[in-house]
Structure 1
Amino acid sequence: MGSLAAAPDAGALPPIHHLFVIVLENESADTSFGPASPAPYLARTLPARGAFIPNYYAIGHASLDDYIAMIGGQGPNPYTQADAPAYVDLLPGGPGPDGQAMGAGSVYPASVQTIVNQLQAKGLSWRGYMEDMGNSTTEPKTCRHPALGAPDTTQTARAGDQYAARHNPFVYFHSIIDNQVDCDARVVPLDLLGADLRSAATTPNYAFISPNLCHDGHDSPCIDGQPGGLASIDQFLAQWVPQITSSPAFADGALVIVFDEAATSDATACCGERSANTPNAGGTTNGSGGGRTAALVLSPYTIPGTRTSSKYNHYSLLRTSEDLFGLPHLGYAGASDLSSLGDDVFNGPAPSVGPIVPAGPTRRSCPSPPLARRGRLRRGALISRVRVVGAGVRRTLSFTLAHRARVTLILRPRRGRAHRVRGRDLAGCRTYRVRLRARRGTRIVMSASFGRATERRTLRA
């Protein structure tokens, strides 16, 4: 299926190379993040460490249509809204408006692409990590799904096996499951994530994580006696989030935590949501969407404690994922009135400047023209050379002074507070280096003063 728009210029987004997505279940924003939330790690600890998006919306009820939207940009149809009690092809499946496959059913034809097909085509890696998927004694351990036309026996949890196929969106696309060897290698049990996180090289560029029916909050209480709901969500996050955020890959990564849908009584929507296959994306509740769930983003490129009032939904998440990896937009992710998560979320890191250190000995010969004692000096009078080198957020400012001067630096990010370095007296005829931590686009203002005369240079990180 075609997309609505070509891949945009992702220059405004940070250079994230490892994206982690954790999907939880069936809670409204005020319940999950309100003052009475039974999940303090989710509701208080994590927002203080990243960005809180209170106006994040699901796109439908019940679960499967939301998962499909996150990776494929396909809107709800009556069968995915009903959580696909049987595993049947979407028919007739022909192309419709806005990159949609038309019809009803749960397994999309091979012509319908997902973000992971896009990633593979670009030579990037991905994996879906599904808790309990390998626990059955009779079913496959990887790429597990019902046979076509058969009932879905994972609709309810079993003792020792709380895997839910409908929370594993990858197995609902023929473009993934028709390559059995590849699907087995990439849609795997959650148990493998710990080993994959040991190095950046073994961590996939895109990691999609689905807890089991207890740990995602769907069941409460759980079949194994655990409390379920938000209490078990909190336990799961407290176990896995530190492993992800302390992994080598997270140095250039981001973790997005979302809920598939709000409580079924909330069918609100945002962001111009539309649907080609059903007039009622709210499912059994009249409404156009899946309700307000809120979301979290943790990243080295996000200032801790950030809160944004912008509205986003699951199509926004897909669009953001595609923008980060320079991919075209699939389905409704390409809608003209939809936005990716922007610098209201990826607003960091807070700029910082290391010590100014000499980069070599003082030169014996350093001709310098006579200097005025006041006013603005011409270019090169004090600063004979200045440049920024490096990539990512860690860069180096290198400059050479033609004359002794007092040097001041100011870093002005596109959003957030500026960072000012107090003036320092430096010898002339010498090159200096200073390490910077600043996002691309940060304006660097360097001033060199001699008496009341000043030369000023402005650069971009």
Structure 2
Amino acid sequence: MSGSPARRFLSRPARGTAASLTCLAAATGLWASPGAAPSARAATTVPTPDHVVVVVMENHADGQIIGSSSAPYINSLKSGGAYLSSSYAVTHPSQPNYFALFSGSTQGITDDSCYSPGFTSAANLGSELAAAGQSFASYNESLPSQGSTVCSSGEYARKHNPWFGFTNVPTSTAHTFKQFPTDYTRLPKVSFVIPNLCDDMHDCSVSKGDTWLKDNLGPYAAWARTHNSLLVLTFDEDDSHSGNRIPTLFYGQPVTVGSSSSTRYTHYSVLRTLEDMYGTGHAGRSADAADITGIWAAP
């Protein structure tokens, strides 16, 4: 479809199923297709975690984080989890990488401009999980209120929140970070955590972001080690420092402690792996990506 993403408005989802999904999301704050049976998981070697939390940080190359004394907590996740030593973002600047990670496509986004909400109904991780009977939500630091589509507010920026671009993902699935559960059994099957512009290392230091991760995700990471769950930590891009090579770590019970892979992976690989964990379809270029392998513990 031609035209800039901000001007592309696709038809609204048909009434019925889409309306039911929206009502369910509004009532529960999570999102899953009511009555839908999970599809058979793809025949891969990836595990099926009870919960996955994906955290996206900002604008740092692998060499700026891994081995850095300014990031002791992140490096403890590396030593206690799995490290992808050849992980790459797909483009510059930030915003299109978020769309790539969530939907297997940049969706025509080429800059960090504030896009119009609901400009596409393309397949994405949220819509795929719902179709497979699984739940999805995001937790966004400094988001003014649940479901708010404001472009910016203080240290909050919608350019790091791709779910608002899709008509097939209810806005009510976008929570504030204050709504992140302390009872982790209440987490959806897959969730994204997006720190604000300071705590994601975009505007503030590596040390500040590392401490934020430890304080806010450390308890979940420790819990995941004994509850068949995963923490995935990645970065949007390297801010043009190293050919777009970024830190990407997996941590939790399904991971072999201290493992690593030197296979080249991208945001599309992470998306493909999450999709295959729960037997969903494959959005965009994730269909051509390989699952992340060689890091998983024996069942």
Asked whether the two chains share a fold, i.e. TM above 0.5, the reply is yes
Aligned to 1:109: 120
Q: Check whether the contact 1:56–1:293 (CA below 8 A) recurs between aligned residues.
A: yes
Is the helix fraction higher in 1 or 2?
Answer: 2
Is the strand fraction higher in 1 or 2?
Answer: 1
Q: Which structure 1 residue ranges, 5 or more long, are not aligned? A: 90-106, 135-140, 147-151, 177-181, 220-227, 269-290, 349-437, 440-461
Q: Check whether the contact 2:101–2:270 (CA below 8 A) recurs between aligned residues.
A: yes
Aligned counterparts of 1:10 and 1:215: Cα–Cα separation in 2: 38
Give the CA RMSD over aligned residues.
Answer: 2.3
1:339 equivalent in alignment to 2:282: no
Q: How many Å apart are 1:17 and its aligned residue?
A: 2.5
Q: How many Å apart are 1:49 and its aligned residue?
A: 0.8
Q: How many Å apart are 1:174 and its aligned residue?
A: 2.1
Aligned counterparts of 1:18 and 1:142: Cα–Cα separation in 2: 21
Aligned to 1:432: none
User: How many residues end up aligned between the 2 structures?
Assistant: 262
Aligned to 1:87: 115
Q: Check whether the contact 1:7–1:329 (CA below 8 A) recurs between aligned residues.
A: no
Aligned counterparts of 1:312 and 1:333: Cα–Cα separation in 2: 11
Q: Alpha-carbon deviations, 1:29-58, whole Å to 9, x = none?
A: 111113x4421221x311111011121000
Aligned to 1:12: 45
Q: Check whether the contact 2:142–2:155 (CA below 8 A) recurs between aligned residues.
A: yes
Structure 1 consecutive aligned stretches of length 4 or more whose deviation exceeds 3 Å: 246-250
Q: How many Å apart are 1:254 and its aligned residue?
A: 1.1
Aligned counterparts of 2:42 and 2:62: Cα–Cα separation in 1: 32
Aligned counterparts of 2:125 and 2:140: Cα–Cα separation in 1: 18
Aligned counterparts of 1:249 and 1:126: Cα–Cα separation in 2: 21
Instruction: For 2:124, give the aligned amino acid.
Output: T
Q: Alpha-carbon deviations, 1:93-138, whole Å to 9, x = none?
A: xxxxxxxxxxxxxx5322x12111111122211110000102xxxx
1:217 equivalent in alignment to 2:201: yes
Aligned to 1:149: none
Q: Check whether the contact 1:18–1:249 (CA below 8 A) recurs between aligned residues.
A: no
Q: 1:315 aligns with which of 268, 286, 299?
A: 268
Q: After superposition, where does 1:212-291 map in structure 2 within 5 Å?
A: 212-219=196-203, 228-247=204-223, 251-266=227-242, 268=243, 291=244
Instruction: For 1:16, give the aligned amino acid.
Output: P
Q: Which structure 2 residue ranges, 5 or more long, are not aligned? A: 2-38
Q: How many Å apart are 1:248 and its aligned residue?
A: 7.0
Q: 2:148 aligns with which of 127, 144, 149?
A: 144
Q: Alpha-carbon deviations, 1:251-295, whole Å to 9, x = none?
A: 1211110000002244x3xxxxxxxxxxxxxxxxxxxxxx00021
Q: How many Å apart are 1:243 and its aligned residue?
A: 1.8
1:46 equivalent in alignment to 2:77: yes
Aligned counterparts of 2:105 and 2:119: Cα–Cα separation in 1: 9
Change beyond 3 A, Cα 1:12–1:62: same
Aligned to 1:390: none
Instruction: For 2:155, give the aligned amino acid.
Output: Q
Q: How many Å apart are 1:65 and its aligned residue?
A: 0.5
Q: How many Å apart are 1:168 and its aligned residue?
A: 1.0
TM-score when scaled to structure 2? 0.81
Give the structure, 1 or 2, with the largest relative contact order (CA under 8 Å, sep 6 or more). Answer: 2
Instruction: For 1:171, give the aligned amino acid.
Output: F
Q: Percent identity?
A: 27
Aligned counterparts of 2:225 and 2:258: Cα–Cα separation in 1: 22
Instruction: For 2:240, give the aligned amino acid.
Output: T
TM-score when scaled to structure 1? 0.54
